[in-house]
Every structure is written in structure tokens, then in C-alpha cells.
Chain A
């Protein structure tokens, strides 16, 4: 575990760069992580996905599958991949300050 600084805020991250404590997350931090991962600006659609991921994780203790993300977030699968080309579930989790999804689906 290491400490890194996003938007002037020190946060704890794991070896892959995911926040280890979702409580340290703020919106400016999300914007900085997104920028670092090839998304210069988070649109309303990005935010919809990031917030859905985060809320679902905080409520259930696990991140939703890509299937659930496509069906329930309000953003269909095709658009998810347009918004997050390097992997929607993984990237939205990283930006949303929650651990990396561990499921296979």
C-alpha cells in the first residue's frame, strides 16, 4: 500500500492504483484519476456509471458485474465501452474510489 496525492489530497492506494479506503474519495479526486487514465473530462454519463458503481459497492460490499452495470446503471453496454474504452467496470471502480472488481463477469 502506498500514499499518493490527488487534487492536493493524500490517499492510500493499492499496487494497482485503486483507493483502499472508499471514505477518502472526493469528486475532485475522481476527476484526477480519470485524467490519469485517459479520460480528460468526466461527462454526466461517466458520472452516472461511476456513482452507480460506488453506491452499489457501498450498499452491498461488492462491485456490480458488467451485466448488472449494463442493465441497471442506465447506460447500455455499448456506451459503457465508448465511455471507458479500457474496461468500464475496472475503470469506473478506480475512478469511483472502490476496490477492483474481482468477479469474472
Chain B
């Protein structure tokens, strides 16, 4: 036990590099999906191996019928600094989404469908979560062609072995 309490030597920390990441995307809002995609793309740009695992509403990012229609969550999102009732007004989410998309285009951040394709082309693996797929009664046909497979949690851990797991 005493060994666990000791801090690892600083030089050791500095010498370590990340070789592989497995990123879980679990939310279906615009602000829930982008961070995972940006981290996966950023990993590949650094030559780090990356896999993406989409679960629950995060599956919307890879659903053919939904990935172009992802919206900013304007209700229950204190980060927007708006009263919840304003966020709930009809059309408000679409408005906030339009504003954010415009801002991202300026920064050369692609829309979600293009971003998913970019990340897949960069060599990252895209996978859907078995439990969520069954729960929403989906199959491979519902997903964009870049999705490689539907994996159980156990299979995901096997795939993630030896790397870092990032949950978003």
C-alpha cells in the first residue's frame, strides 16, 4: 500500500506519450458530439491511434437520418446563460444551432456529417454500442457507411485495451 501513496517521479510522467485513445460519445446534442469528434481528429493528427464508440443518444451522430439534424440543447443548459423558458420557445434551438454552426464554419470546423467522414478517413474506427442499438431497435443499415461494427461493452474494452478511454 505504501507504494501507491508515493508520487511517480516527474521525469517519468514527462517521458510518457499517449499512443492510443478510445473515445465514448454518449450524448446527442451538438455540444455533446463535437468534443469527442474534435478529440478523435486531434489524436489522429498527432499520429495517435483513435477509436470512437457511440452509445445512447450519441448514436445520432452516425445515424443517416439524424446526423445532419443535430441541435444545440437550449433547455437545461446553464452554459447558455438564458432562462430555461426562453430556451424552450419554438424555434429557439434551431436558432442557437444556426448561430453556433456559423461560428464553427468560421473556425473551419466541419458540420457533423463531414466531420464523421473526416475522422473515419483519418483512420479512426467508428463503432456503435450493442445495448443502445438494441434499445432503439436499430441495425447497421441505419448508420453511415463509415461505421465498422456494432460492439458489446466487452468487445469495446477489448478494442480499447492498452490505451486511454475518454467518456464524453
A binds B: yes
A binding-site residues for B, Cβ under 8 Å: 65-68, 70, 76-78, 81, 85-90, 103-105
Give bound CA distance, A85 to B45, whole Å: 9
Let me know if B46 and A77 touch, CB within 8 A: no
Please measure, in the bound complex, the distance between the C-alpha atom of A89 and the C-alpha atom of B118, giving whole angstroms: 14
B140 to chain A, nearest CB (A): 21
B121 near A87 with CB under 8 A, answer no
Cβ-defined contact, B118 with A104, below 8 A: no
Q: For B107, what are the chain A residues with a Cβ–Cβ distance below 8 Å?
A: 105
The reply to whether the CB of B68 lies closer than 8 angstroms to some CB of chain A is no
What is the total of A-B residue contacts with beta carbons within 8 Å?
44
Which residues of B96-110 have CB atoms within 8 Å of chain A's CB atoms?
107-110
- Are B121 and A77 closer than 8 Å at their CB atoms? yes
Pair A66/B46 contact, Cβ less than 8 Å: no
Contact A87 B44, CB 8 Å, known A76-B121, A105-B107: yes
* B47 interface hit (Cβ, 8 Å): yes
Question: Of B38, B42, B45, B118, which is in contact with the most chain A CB atoms at under 10 Å from its CB?
Answer: B45
In the complex, are the beta carbons of B110 and A67 less than 8 A apart?
yes
Q: Which residues of B contact A103 (CB under 8 A)?
A: 108
Chain A residues whose CB sits within 8 angstroms of the CB of B76 once the complex forms: none
Taking a contact as CB atoms under 8 Å apart, the answer to whether B109 and A86 are in contact is: no
Cβ–Cβ contact B46 & A87, under 8 A: yes
Q: How far is the CB of B8 from chain A (nearest CB, A)?
A: 23
Q: Is the CB of B47 within 8 A of A68?
A: no
Q: Is the CB of A70 within 8 A of B118?
A: yes
Query: Contact mask B34-63 → A, CB, 8 Å, 1/0?
Result: 000010011011110000000000000000
Min CB gap B110→A, angstroms: 6
**Are A81's CB and B38's CB within 8 A?**
no
For the complex, give the distance between the alpha carbons of A85 and B122 in Å: 9
* Interface membership of B83, Cβ < 8 A: no
* Contact between chains at B122 and A81 (CB < 8 Å): yes
Cα(A67)–Cα(B42), bound, Å: 12
Report how far A92 CA is from B38 CA in the complex, Å. Answer: 20
| Contact flag A105-B47 (CB < 8 Å), given A70-B121, A77-B121, A77-B122 | no
B121 contacts A89, CB within 8 Å? no
